[in-house]
Chains A and B, each alone.
Chain A
Amino acid sequence: MQPVATTFFFYLLSGAAILGGVLVITRKNPVHSALALIMTLLAQAGLYLMLYAPFVAGVQIILYAGGIMVLFLFVIMLVNIEKVQKQEQFNKQWLVGIVAAAALGVLFVLVYMKGESLFPKHVVRLAEESNTQEIAVLLYGQYMFAFEIASLLLLVAIIGAVVMAKKRI
């Protein structure tokens, strides 16, 4: 399947993602931030589809938008936002932070400008039809060990989260 109107969708989706990002860091209300983050994540899932990565897009939707964000919303509801909303939103070093981040952004763009010539000229044709199968082969073959470590990491995270969030153990 050939993607249609690539240019249009790229600008639409990346625009949505960046707009979401801006909203995440500017909203007073964490729930609005979370909503904006969900928009960013879904737009990114769309970008992944355009990059011939349907499996990553699916994982992004299930895990990020469906799992992690629900966790975020859950926690936001547990903490008292009304009080938080009335407080000062930015810390004292906000100017320094923005300047540093902007410098970082400029650095990125400069590197890309310089480095673009190093990229391979032709794009690897990734088979979209068998994307999942190929990822599976890599994940359970070459990256088996990393996969196991990731599962261990998740186990540790589960235990850690339960231990920390529990009232009395």
Chain B
Amino acid sequence: MAPITTLHYLVAAAALFVLGVIGVLTRRNVVIILMSIELILNAVNLNLVAFSRLYGLHGQIFSIFVITDAAAEAAVGLGILIAFFRNKETVNVDEVDLLKW
């Protein structure tokens, strides 16, 4: 088999990214949408780390920042979810179509 090059990693990351996008676009459940966003962020991370093999360590630094952001995003997102669930008793995004209730 051919040796594994950076391109292989990039394709794997693209696949994950696309899966994440599909999840965000098609699912109704907020929890799963948040998880899909995590998937997207991870795909980006994989790209960054793969490129860091070509251009030096900066990619890895960036991926660490991305992980930090993911943590913040998950905390806030799930906080919103809890508050929302407490008021509406649903976790479906398409039922959140009002700006105020």
Contact = CB atoms under 8 A, between A and B. Distances in A.
Direct contact of A and B (CB under 8 A): yes
Nearest to B54: A120
A126 B72 contact: no
Interface residues of A, number: 83
Dominant secondary structure of chain B at its interface with chain A: helix
Interface of A: 6-7, 10, 14, 17-18, 21-22, 24-25, 27, 30, 33-34, 37, 40-41, 44, 47-48, 51-53, 55-56, 59-60, 63-64, 67-68, 71-72, 75-76, 78-80, 84, 87-94, 96-98, 100-102, 104-105, 108-109, 112, 116, 119-120, 123-124, 126, 134-135, 138-139, 143, 146, 150, 153-154, 156-158, 160-165, 167
A80 B88 CA distance: 12
Contact of A154 (B17, B23, B72, B80): B72
CB-based closest 3 A-B pairs:
A97-B25, A157-B72, A25-B23
A25 B22 contact: yes
B33 to A, nearest CB: 9
Given A33-B32, A146-B65, A105 B74 contact: no
Interface residues of B, number: 74
Contacts of A161: 75-76, 78-79
B19 A22 contact: yes
A108 B14 contact: yes
A149 to B, nearest CB: 9
Interface string B2-14: 1110111111101
Given A14-B12, A24-B35, A154-B68, 14 more contacts: A7-B4, A40-B39, A44-B45, A53-B60, A59-B67, A63-B68, A64-B42, A79-B85, A84-B91, A87-B92, A90-B26, A104-B21, A126-B56, A157-B75
Contacts of B19: 18, 21-22, 24-25
Contact of A37 (B21, B35, B53, B60): B35
Nearest to A78: B82
B31 A76 contact: yes
Contacts of B24: 97
Nearest to A123: B53
Interface string B59-77: 0110111011111111110
Contacts of B86: 167
B66 to A, nearest CB: 10
B17, B50, B58, B67 interface centre (most CB from chain A within 10 Å): B67
Contacts of B6: 119, 123
